[in-house]
Each structure stands twice: as structure tokens, then as C-alpha cells.
Structure 1
Amino acid sequence: MRAWGRAEVVVRMRAGERTVLRSFPQDNYGDAWNRRFGGGDDSFDVLELRAAASLRRSPALPAVLGKLEVPQAKDEVRGRYFGLRMSGINGRKMDMGRVDETVTRGTAETWTVRNEDGVPHNFHVHDVQFRVLEVDGRPPEGTLRGAKDTVFVPGGSTVKLAMRFDGPADPDTPYMYHCHLLYHEDRGMMGQFVVVEKGQRAGSPGGGGGTGDHAGH
């Protein structure tokens, strides 16, 4: 299993205790078809924690577990819009030989992502972790306040994401953004962006594949 990004999780347990992390059905997964055949009504165990028969006492928790190292809205130098549909992103299906967006290394941007159809999507961006600024114009709930690289976007919903592009710059080797549901990305719900140094232009990817965590898509 590949772990995307980092997380700090603290679980309080007693000696001999077992705790299960379980996924339950969502109430925002679209119509009955999507709930039944898209996994929206599934329940399953994700992880079981088993405490030993005897435990050492843990040190006290710090007041702050870690600093969120992702940009805020005030850091942006520009914004972009991404409309998600089963027919593609911003009206275009994936083309391995096309660069859809060009960003400058070291800059921060705000991406507005809207699900324009009734099918749920998970929007994933290579190369970065981002901060969820808004969900339908409101501040994100607690589960969305950490650094993310994927965000769930229900049908008709809009999210705003702040991100900074600090990864390697190469005008000819793109990163990808896409719906993280395999069936959707296979139908063309993907796009490519290149990170360039200031003053550079996008090159030509030549259809040879992108960089990032799963360049074989």
C-alpha cells in the first residue's frame, strides 16, 4: 500500500484493548446507482489496533502536534478553475501529448474545483499537498483541515484548494491531476501540468507519461 502524504494520529488505548477503524456509508455519495455500484453504501474495516498486555506510560501530549506546512489563500499568485465531469476536466479528455496547465516553481495558487455532474469524484493532484480553504463557500470541517493530496467532491459541490509547487521543474515532464476513481480516470478524467522555472515555457511531453506517484496512468 502506498501512503500519500503524512499524518499525525494519536490514539489513547488501554492494555489489552482492541480498536477498529471502520469505514461507513456516506450520505453525500449521489443517487442509488452510485451508492450501490460506486461503493457509497459499503462498510468495511480499514485497520485494527491491538494494545499489548502491558503498556508503558506515554508522555503528555504537546499543545500543538505539528505545523501545517501548506499555503493559505493570501499566499496565492493566481487561481485556476477545474470543472469535473465524466466527459473530462474543463471539457477535455486526457491527452498524454498535451500540457493543460503551466505553473511556476515556488509559487502558490488557489485551485477551484467544481463537480459539474451528479457523480461523486475524488480530485487528486500529483507533486503537492494542499490546504482545503472552502467547501461550498464554508470553512472545511475538522477532517479536512490537515494537509491533503486528495479531496472528495460530491455532485454539485465546489472546493477551493491552496497549494505551493516546490517539486522538481521540468517543462517536458508533466505532473497529473485527476479523479482518483479508477473507472473515471480511465474514461479520461485527467489532465497534465508542468512545473517550470520563472520565465520558462511549457515544453512538449510527447505522450511518454508523467511524473508523480503513479505515472503509469
Structure 2
Amino acid sequence: MTHTTEPDKGAHTRDGQETKGEHTKEGRGRKKALHRRKFLGGMAGVGLASVGAAGAAFSLLTEGTRNKAAAADGSLVIPDLLEGTASDGTTTFTLATQTGTTEVLSGVSSTTSGYNQSFLGPTLKWTKGDTVLLDITNNLDEDTTVHFHGAHVPPKMDGGPQNAFSAGTTWEPTFEVLDEAKTLWYHPHALGTTAKQAVHGLAGMIIVEDDSDTSAALPGDYGVDDIPLIFQCLAVDSAGDIKYDQAGYLTSGLSFPVLVNGTNVDDTTLGFTATKTRNRFRALNASPADIITIQRSDGGTLTQIATEQGYLTEAAEVTTIRLVAGSRAEFVMDVTEDVTLQVVITTGWIRGGSGTFDFLTVSAGGSDSPDDLPSTLNTIDRYDTTDFTARTITLSNTGATMKINGSAGLTMASMAMISTTLGAKEIWTITNASQLEHSFHLHDVPYQLISVNGEDPTGVDLGWRDTYEVVGGGTIVIAMEFTDFADDTYMYMLHCHLLQHEDEGMMASLMVTES
């Protein structure tokens, strides 16, 4: 087909070294001759970010190297599930950053990073109510952090910039899992190096399980009928060098390969042979900037069951699932005949990719007849925001410098700071004063969408979120309640999840203190 465009259980170090602000202790493959991709030169870095410059900044680039490599048999690679070690009521997961090489482009070796491997990381599985400890060693040659994106954890354990730990040291955050069933992910979050480290491969999925009736009724056998899909659209030159900043994105002749679980799918449709009729897919957009839209090649529907922060009130039949950078969604399909899934790439106002790709053929192989999905998946009480504290958060830029409320968060001291108290209920108007695309992410607690560009949310937008699109010149209104955790030293973050924007200053701090 033709393709279109309490007592402190805090982190500490085993070797006694201190970190900044904390004591720290990778069916069948079907080659697609007609896979084609246009490389849409969006804003080449955000220094060109003005309405007048926008049109001039777009250019059509020639196609670059294509990767025909996949798993040995052309099947979807399922990230390893990291086994935790249980002792004295705590489950420990051991991670180590490392560098290596990966063929992001076929036949071309790229220098990459990963957790416990050369690229990406294993999947972690947590259970609500359990106490977990993350034993994370930094084998890079620079500081890093590990942020548990979307998790409701104490700020001291959140993995933000204050939790940076240096090369050769080990960070050991520990906390009780308070989240209900949902799909989270983990990635670096140190000041100025988040894009560099994440695009080179430091990212992995977290699955949170609970004992709810809904969870019991849904597929949950990891790698069998519960399938992770980690999408990345990266910027890579012909030598395999992965770009991450404004200067790199100005390089001529870039390719923007689409990876799924670490495999380039520009010219490859991966295969997954279902052994069950009903299959659950957890989709994560781990791209630095590009927008990912998932759809069926036959135009059929997907049954979405969750947004970033848990189950929807009821299953929703949708034809597309749109994920901005950092966001996630879960959907199920009853596969009684082969289904091919497509991904549509839209550049996020940073020079990036564009195009539609068949990335996965799910072959029918199950003989079971699943029960109907529960009529109700979750109870979501919509906020009455009448008495909520109101704030306005303004996203803007001056050339390549990104700002929140007029401040560029290039250091902790230079960030705008939002101060609130434990138990506070707030309604925020997030105003995009630029013409750039932004992806607004809030640490600590989930939020509800109250309005999107002046319209009431409907459908899946009524679910709980932690990351949401704010278009150029647009506005979203969100509401949240700050629960459980307060600290007068450690802060959460709120920022744009286009990683280049984050590193260029579009980040502010959130201090939650006792009432």
C-alpha cells in the first residue's frame, strides 16, 4: 500500500559519595517496498520560533538510510521483564546505566545507552501497596537521574534534578507504591542532559498492577497478551550519530527513523503472533518531540481502556490514539483475523519526522472466547472546581530560550517556583504564548482536563492525565489535588516534555509543603 505523510528511608550511597542535593548509595518481518517517508523540516531547533520564521524553517529533505534490521525472525522484540528480589517486605530492582552500540540505522553503528543493556531498559512491574527499592548505579561519565514518570512518590524519590547522582555512584530510592493500575515509564531528568541521555536510549516502561476487578478482567500476561510498545522517532545522521540539541538538529542530511521497542520500522513491518484472542497493548511515546498517532491499516477501531494515569470510566472505541511526547495509552484488540497497526508521525514543531508506517502485524492465533469487557472500568469523580485555587502558567520563549512564567529553568535557582500546600486543590490555566507545540507534564499528582482550547473535554480526555498537548497559541485548563507528600527541601517539576524545550529552560519547580 502507499504510505502518506516516615522514618527516612531515603536514598543513600554505598560508597559514601554525595550527589547533588542527595546522599546516593531491546511472528515475522514483512519488508515493505512501498514504505516511504518524507522528512519534514519543522522548526530546526527552536531558535527559529516565530510565526514569520516558521514557514521559512520548513523544508523537505531527501530520504536517508533505511534500516531493514528487526528481530532475528522479524518479530516484535519484547523488552525483558526485570525480576525484583523480595526481602523483609521490600522488593529490590537493580538497574545500571551503561553505554554500548546499536544499529539504529541498518548497517550503521550508533553509540547508545541503556539500563542493564546497550539500548533502552527492561520493564519494571510494581504492585500497588508494595514497598520497592531501586538500586541504580550510574556507569555513565556524567551525572544522571532516574525519574519515575507519572508515579505518585515523595519528591525526594521522584528522580528530578535535585536527585542527580554522579558517575560511579548508586542511588537507592525507596517508597510504597500508591498508584493504581497504570502504565508509567522511567528516564533521566538531570538539568540540561535529559534529551541527550534519553534519546541515546535511557528509557524503559513501568507497569503498575493492582487487585481491582477491572485488572482481573483484562489481559495481564506480560509478553503473551500484555504487550509493551515503546515508540521513538529520533534524529540520526548518516554516520549513526543520534542528535539531541538545537545544533545537532541543524545537521544536514538527517534521517528520522521510527523505532518500536528499539527496532527501526521505517522499512519493516514487525510481526506478533497472538496466542490469545484478546490482547492488551501499552503504548508509550518516548520520542524527544514528535507526535505519535496509532491506528489500524484497515480503518477499524481500537478499544482504548486507559490514559496515562489509569483506566477510563469505560472502554472507548476510537479510530486513532494520539500521543504527544511523554504520554501513554492502553488499548485492547480482540484478534480473530490478522490486523496491521500503523503509526503516523507528526513533527512537534522541532525539526522531525513525518509519515505513516505499518509497524506491526498481529496474527490471529487464539482459540479462546473472551468475556465481554466490564461495562465500567473505573470511577472518576469529576472535580467541582468552584473553590479551587486558580493559577495561570504561561509557556513562552525568547528565541531558543524556553520559559515558564517568564523564567528559563536552566538552573534550580533560575526556575519559576510554584508553592502550594498538602491538601490544596488547584485549577491551572496553561497558556501557550508561543506558536510552538508543547507537551505539558506535571510531576507528583494526576490532573483532570477542565477545558482544551475553550472546549469541554469529551471521551478519553475525561480520563486522568499527567502529560497533555498544548498547541501553539492554545490553552488548557487542568485541575488537581496535592495529596500524601510534602517537603520543604525537595521539589517536583512541571515542564514541557519536548525534551529539547525542557533542556532549553521550559521547566519550573513545584514545592508542596505542610499546610
TM-score (norm 1): 0.75
Give 1:89 shift.
0.5
Alignment-derived partner of residue 412 in structure 2: 96
Percent sequence identity over aligned pairs = 31
Gaps of at least 5 residues in structure 2 are 1-203, 207-307, 313-329
Matching of residues 19-58 of structure 1 within 5 Å: 19-20=340-341, 22-25=343-346, 34=349, 37-39=351-353, 41-44=354-357, 48=360, 50=362, 52-58=364-370
Q: 1:13 aligns with which of 325, 334, 355?
A: 334
Give 1:25 shift.
3.4
Give 1:2 shift.
3.3
Q: Which has the higher contact order (CA 8 A, sep 6+)?
A: 1
Matching of residues 164-179 of structure 1 within 5 Å: 164-179=481-496
Matching of residues 148-159 of structure 1 within 5 Å: 148-159=465-476
Query: Aligned residue pairs: how many?
Result: 188
SS in 1 for 2:495: strand
Structure 2 Cα separation of the partners of residues 102 and 144 of structure 1: 27
Q: 1:65 aligns with which of 351, 372, 377?
A: 377
Q: 1:109 to 1:42 in 2, by over 3 A?
A: farther
Q: Which amino acid in 2 is paired with 1:81? A: T
Structure 1 Cα separation of the partners of residues 504 and 331 of structure 2: 39
Structure 1 Cα separation of the partners of residues 440 and 492 of structure 2: 14
Structure 2 Cα separation of the partners of residues 110 and 91 of structure 1: 20
- Answer yes or no: is the 8 Å Cα contact 2:422–2:486 preserved in 1: yes
Deviations 1:65-95 (A, max 9, x none): 11126x5143753011111012300100113
Q: 1:193 to 1:14 in 2, by over 3 A?
A: closer
Give 1:10 shift.
4.8
- Answer yes or no: is the 8 Å Cα contact 2:422–2:513 preserved in 1: yes
Alignment-derived partner of residue 461 in structure 2: 144
- Answer yes or no: is the 8 Å Cα contact 1:125–1:150 preserved in 2: yes
Gaps of at least 5 residues in structure 1 are 199-217
Q: 1:77 to 1:62 in 2, by over 3 A?
A: same
Q: 1:2 aligns with which of 199, 205, 208?
A: 205
Give 1:165 shift.
1.2
Q: Which amino acid in 1 is paired with 2:343? A: R
Deviations 1:102-136 (A, max 9, x none): 11112221111011011111110001111111012
Comparing 60-69 with 160-169, greater Cα deviation is found at 60-69
Structure 2 Cα separation of the partners of residues 193 and 48 of structure 1: 40
Deviations 1:146-167 (A, max 9, x none): 1110110001101000111114
Comparing 85-94 with 183-192, greater Cα deviation is found at 85-94
Q: Which amino acid in 2 is paired with 1:77? A: F
Q: Which amino acid in 2 is paired with 1:83? A: T
Q: 1:100 to 1:123 in 2, by over 3 A?
A: same
Is residue 2:478 matched to residue 1:161?
yes
Give 1:54 shift.
2.5
Q: 1:154 to 1:44 in 2, by over 3 A?
A: farther
Q: 2:430 aligns with which of 113, 120, 143?
A: 113
Q: Which amino acid in 2 is paired with 1:111? A: W
Superposed CA RMSD in Å reads 2.6
Structure 2 Cα separation of the partners of residues 67 and 128 of structure 1: 17
Q: Which amino acid in 2 is paired with 1:123? A: F
Considering fraction of residues, name the structure with more strand: 2
